[in-house]
Homo-oligomer: A and B are copies of this chain.
Amino acid sequence: MTDLKAVARAAREFAEDRDWEQFHTPKNLTMALAGEAGELAAELQWLTDAEAWAATTTTGAAQDRFAAEMANVLIYLLRLSDITGIDLLAAAQTKLATNAERYPVELSRGTAAKYTDLN
């Protein structure tokens, strides 16, 4: 399972095998994704920046938990892509192109304020 399509296929088969496709509607998967994004945030919520770097970059239980939450977000993104027919990689490519126009290199360099305001 070395590419995104293989993971998407495995996630679909997982749902099919359990007859869970009935639960995988756009609204339900979007709620599930928001739930997993919340769990990802919860992993780091009380840590200092230094502790969060250590937790996410050092092999161990904390990194494994963080990786599992990242995986959950990806799996729900892939399920959403699968049921809607939206091409996730093409959408990301389009978005990066749009962002490149919105944030010209010269005007955006090192400017968090502008980034935040325009985002």
Q: Bound state CA distance, A3 and B93, in angstroms? A: 10
B49 touches A27 (CB 8 A): yes
By CB atoms of chain B within 10 A, which of A4, A36, A39, A71 has the most? A71
Copies in the complex: 4
By CB atoms of chain B within 10 A, which of A14, A30, A93, A103 has the most? A30
Produce 1/0 per residue, A107-119, CB < 8 A to B.
0111110011001
A30 touches B27 (CB 8 A): no
CB distance from A119 to the nearest CB of B (A): 7
Q: Bound state CA distance, A35 and B116, in angstroms? A: 12
Residues of the B chain whose Cβ atoms lie less than 8 Å from the Cβ of A25: 49, 52-53
Produce 1/0 per residue, A98-109, CB < 8 A to B.
111001010011
25 A-B residue pairings within 8 Å (CB atoms):
A7-B89, A14-B99, A17-B105, A18-B110, A19-B109, A27-B44, A27-B47, A27-B52, A32-B41, A33-B41, A34-B41, A35-B39, A42-B116, A46-B116, A49-B49, A57-B84, A57-B85, A71-B92, A72-B95, A74-B74, A74-B77, A74-B88, A74-B92, A75-B92, A75-B96
